[in-house]
A and B are shown apart, each in its own frame.
Chain A
Amino acid sequence: MEQYNNKAIASLVLGIVSLVSIVWSYFTIIGIICAIVGLIFAIQIRKAGELEGFRPNSMATAGLVLNIIGLALCAIVLIACVACVGLLGTAAMFS
């Protein structure tokens, strides 16, 4: 249980960092990385709770929610028309 508590705290902190990083555009990539790592921790705790039969604490739930919001908001700033960029990139690779 101790390791899950530590992961829950880490997930919550990473979620907060990802949300804060939205304010500065150059830091959104750091926000995305934090949100991804935090989200993986939060999902691990949820699944472990389901498989081992314990209820994840509220910090883990808060971490999950904050990381999802952080990932979505960071992605919205960073994302462009990926399909167009993708086509140009693939064409460059083949030419």
Chain B
Amino acid sequence: MHPIIHIFDYAIPTFGIMFLIGTGCGFLLAIPAAKKYQIATMDAMFFGLFGIIGGIIGAKLLYIIVDLPNLIASPETALIRLATGGAVFYGGLIGGIMGGYFYTHIYHLDAIHFFDIAVPCLALAQAFGRIGCFFNGCCYGIPYEGPGAVHYPVGAYPPSGIGLFPAQLSESAFLLVLTLLLMAVLWRSNTPGFTSGFYLVASGLFRFINEFFRADPRGAIGFLSTSQFISLLIIGLGILFMLKIPQWVYEKHLKN
């Protein structure tokens, strides 16, 4: 719809702006969330920054691994492609977790407490990111003519002339509600790691269902889409967190 905004002579992707606003709001939310475990605001901020650094490195590294055959095949464009784009979300996620964990490890802090305060902030950032997807036109929904149907203009990335289900906005709305729920769970829960588990199960479950209402071209593994397959793994990990198994492994083997 509005994939690019022009400010002076610069073309700036709307997704990037929304993602940046989301990240800013996530950092602001970390201030009240950190009070739950009496974590210093500076530590919460630095944990987030290490997460972002790890995320950028992870996203780029996995992109290089996934796209290595193409990069080797055309080395003359490889450097430009590396410099201008290419990032893999799941690499970013794994890298972000590793970056955050690395921070808690070197300064002898409790990683599970930090993950608990990070998940509401992550959900809020994701919600803004999905609004960015809506403006970008990607991740669009199935043809639908009911209330709230979206009609993209001619020339946009999604098919124009027909009504589409607002799959991006439905996910964004869910994530905003989930942020509030996670804050409530964080304040009421006495089990470290439960909030992280709740986030993984809830977001994985919604993503699994929401995938049925999406029509954009994306990969498939068997009869499931790639994200549904990954959602199942995420739900499994969330259930493990609720059963306190990762917490036990962390206390036994990984904590300083």
Binary interface encoding of chain B residues 57-88 relative to chain A, with 1 for a CB under 8 A from any of its CBs, else 0? 10100110011000000000000101111111
Q: Find out whether the CB atom of B85 lies under 8 angstroms from the CB atom of A78.
A: yes
Q: Find out whether the CB atom of A85 lies under 8 angstroms from the CB atom of B86.
A: yes
Partner of B139, one of A32, A47, A81, A95: A81
Expressed in whole angstroms, the Cα–Cα distance for A82 and B19 within the complex equals: 10
Expressed in whole angstroms, the Cα–Cα distance for A82 and B225 within the complex equals: 17
Whether B91 is near chain A, meaning CB under 8 Å from some CB there, is yes
Measured between C-beta atoms, what is the minimum distance from A43 to chain B in Å? Answer: 5
Which residues of B are found within 8 Å of A36, using beta-carbon distances?
53, 56-57
Q: Find out whether the CB atom of B139 lies under 8 angstroms from the CB atom of A83.
A: yes
Which residues of A are found within 8 Å of B88, using beta-carbon distances?
82, 85-86, 89-90
Whether A71 is near chain B, meaning CB under 8 Å from some CB there, is yes
Expressed in whole angstroms, the Cα–Cα distance for A5 and B141 within the complex equals: 54
Partner of B46, one of A47, A87, A89: A47
Binary interface encoding of chain B residues 9-20 relative to chain A, with 1 for a CB under 8 A from any of its CBs, else 0? 000110111011
Q: List residues of A (50-95) whose CB comes within 8 Å of B's CBs.
A: 50, 68, 71-72, 75-95
Q: Find out whether the CB atom of B66 lies under 8 angstroms from the CB atom of A89.
A: yes
Expressed in whole angstroms, the Cα–Cα distance for A88 and B221 within the complex equals: 12
Per DSSP, are chain B's interface residues mostly helix, strand or loop, or mixed?
helix
Q: List residues of B (183-231) whose CB comes within 8 Å of A's CBs.
A: 216, 218-221, 225-227, 230
Given the known interface contacts A81-B132, A91-B218, the answer about A68 and B49 at a Cβ–Cβ threshold of 8 Å is yes
Given the known interface contacts A26-B83, A91-B218, A92-B219, the answer about A79 and B89 at a Cβ–Cβ threshold of 8 Å is no
Which residues of A are found within 8 Å of B225, using beta-carbon distances?
87
Which residues of A are found within 8 Å of B91, using beta-carbon distances?
86
Whether A29 is near chain B, meaning CB under 8 Å from some CB there, is yes
- Interface size grouping (class) on chain A: 35 or more
Greatest chain B CB density within 10 A among A47, A72, A84 is at A84
Whether B101 is near chain A, meaning CB under 8 Å from some CB there, is no
Whether A7 is near chain B, meaning CB under 8 Å from some CB there, is no
Per DSSP, are chain A's interface residues mostly helix, strand or loop, or mixed?
helix
Given the known interface contacts A76-B13, A80-B85, the answer about A91 and B226 at a Cβ–Cβ threshold of 8 Å is yes
Given the known interface contacts A85-B88, A87-B227, A90-B88, the answer about A95 and B46 at a Cβ–Cβ threshold of 8 Å is no
Which residues of B are found within 8 Å of A83, using beta-carbon distances?
89, 129, 133, 139
Given the known interface contacts A36-B53, A50-B42, A76-B17, the answer about A87 and B87 at a Cβ–Cβ threshold of 8 Å is no
Q: A86-B88, A87-B219 are in contact. List 5 more A-B contacts (CB 8 A).
A: A84-B133, A85-B85, A87-B89, A88-B218, A90-B226
Nearest 6 Cβ contacts at the A-B interface: A91-B219, A86-B89, A76-B16, A29-B83, A89-B88, A89-B66
Q: B residues touching A (Cβ–Cβ < 8 Å)?
A: 12-13, 15-17, 19-20, 23, 42, 46, 49-50, 52-53, 56-57, 59, 62-63, 66-67, 80, 82-92, 107, 129, 132-133, 136, 138-139, 216, 218-221, 225-227, 230
Write 30 A-B pairs (CB below 8 A) sorted by A numbering. Answer: A26-B84, A32-B56, A36-B57, A46-B46, A71-B52, A75-B16, A75-B19, A76-B12, A76-B13, A77-B12, A77-B16, A78-B84, A78-B85, A80-B16, A81-B132, A82-B89, A84-B138, A84-B216, A85-B85, A85-B87, A85-B89, A86-B88, A88-B218, A89-B62, A90-B90, A90-B219, A90-B230, A91-B221, A94-B219, A94-B226
